[in-house]
Amino acid sequence: YLKISKLALAFAIIRSKPPGKSCKEYTEHLAKTVSEQDFGWKSKVEVLEAEVLRLRKELLLSKVCPRFCLKNDASAETLLDQECTNPMSYSSQLEDSGCDVSNDYAFDSLGIASDFYQSEQNVSTSKHWLERFLPLNLCSTSKEESLTAPVQFLQHLLEIKKLSEGGILQADFTELEKDSFTLCNSVSQLLDGLTIFYNSPKFPLSSFITEAVCVLISLITDTKLSNHVLKRCFKKLEEFQKNLIQIILRNSNVNRFQALHAVSHTLGLLGRNNILRNSLVSLLLSEVRQFAEQLLQAHQIQAMYDITQYENIFPLCMILEQLLQNGTEASNISSTEYDEEEKTRFLKNLDQIILYLSDEFPLFSLYLWRTSVLLNSAQIQ
């Protein structure tokens, strides 16, 4: 049947060939025409798929809370206009070397996310916030535009949760189980958008990027919503953590330290969820151990080592120490939840590695020793 179809197509092309053109030229012309039509259809399909997803999000929100409605708020649009005209409102730090840490306010633009879920607003403020609906046509870069839709949806979901706890609205979050695709899709889009941004960040950070991180951290630390997210999106979140770790290790820009701080801060915030914290600790133990072994090998044979990666390993060491310290202090978190095999590999021959590296690399050796102390003290407790 396929051979007959090809033969029939060949005859049709030959018979319809215009004068002055060879069969080959005419065939290439037809193929180009069809491919252009396919490209046009693909663009239309992408637009329609985005519209379908938007409608699914609105439908899911209405099922979770029938009284929920999206309203345009003039004050919200005013705030967005201010953000467009004054994008440096969050920080006035110069974009020279990125090494000046005398003013930590620039680094605290993401710190808002660390306290976002702790600051409980009153009911009237929450209700006013809920009625704010960010327009889809934000005056921002394309990186931020890709985050607009998922941030909006997840923001409204979080506010419905907050208002339902205050008794203002009645919400049925079991609907999230019936349409897990919409929730997972929004979380995936949010993580992909943040990954793209962190690969080539621009400083000072815009308020919209800060808000995106706030939404992510609030979602994974909410006791009710985080269960739905982790059940469906754990692999995606773990992949996001791996991507952030690699972004830190691979960054070789001269003015990279401000970017490293921002990525490190987000990684630390992800550790606020106990399940993600245990996964992140295992990933960090593996990366630090591999680097220590490579550094020891280079030291023993007097070979060159990557000084940039050596500098970049310290943010990972600091995050690891912070997560282990928090886990040790928290009485309700068991240290056995870490990957025992990874812990064993990390502690194996660690004393010997520290002994060989302590003279030439004292700071890194100190971090290795402190990490081993935290791991052992958690195990003893």
Question: For 250-287, how does the pLDDT look when each residue is reduced to its tens digit (9 = 90+)?
Answer: 998 888 888 899 999 999 999 989 899 999 999 999 99
Last residue of a domain, one of 272, 306, 328: 272
User: Is the pTM for the entire model greater than 0.85?
Assistant: no
Q: Within this chain, do residues 250 and 279 fall inside the same structural domain, yes or no?
A: no
State the total domains in the chain: 2
Please report the pLDDT score of residue 329 as a whole number.
62
Question: For 192-229, how does the pLDDT look when each residue is reduced to its tens digit (9 = 90+)?
Answer: 999 999 998 887 878 888 899 999 999 999 888 888 88
Does residue 163 belong to any structural domain of this protein? yes
Q: Within this chain, do residues 299 and 337 fall inside the same structural domain, yes or no?
A: yes
257 vs 120, higher pLDDT: 257
Torsion of CA 83, 85, 88, 90, to 10 degrees: -20
Q: Within this chain, do residues 152 and 211 fall inside the same structural domain, yes or no?
A: yes
Q: Within this chain, do residues 314 and 262 fall inside the same structural domain, yes or no?
A: no
Alpha-carbon Rg for the chain, nearest whole angstrom, is: 26
Q: Within this chain, do residues 301 and 235 fall inside the same structural domain, yes or no?
A: no
Domain that holds residue 325: 274-380
Whether the per-residue pLDDT at 75 is higher than 50: the answer is no
Element (H, E) at 355: helix 350-357
Query: Which stretches of 100-161 are assigned E, i.e. beta strand?
Result: none
Q: Within this chain, do residues 288 and 191 fall inside the same structural domain, yes or no?
A: no
Decide: 98 and 256 in contact? Cβ < 8 Å.
yes
